[in-house]
Amino acid sequence: MRTNKSGVDRASFNEWWADRCIPASRSGVRDALQALGVAVPQQLLSRSYGLSLSDYYWLKPTDSALTWEQIKAD
């Protein structure tokens, strides 16, 4: 991800965030979204703090006391 003098480049971040989504073409994703009450895969990212099983990145809201230990998948 690119950075600039003020931190992370917004366009680079947005691209990274979009790439974390479950592809809408994945088998069963529509049924899963409906069962979870969300319209698009991007909404799952917000609900799950951007968690992925393939890395350790997540987004912590600034007003949150959550820790990695509390939300990581064991």
Domain boundaries in the chain? Answer: 1-51
HEC profile for the chain? Answer: CCEECCEECHHHHHHHHHHCCCCCCCCCHHHHHHHHCCCCHHHHHHHCCCCCCCCCCCCCCCCCCCCHHHHCCC
pTM score, two decimals?
0.69
Burial of 21: CB neighbours in 10 Å, binned 0-12, 13-18, 19+: middle
| 1, amino acid identity | M
Check pLDDT > 80 for residue 12.
yes
- The overall average pLDDT reported for the chain is 87
* Structure confidence by residue, pLDDT tens digits, 36-67: 999 998 898 888 899 888 888 898 999 999 99
pLDDT of residue 10: 85
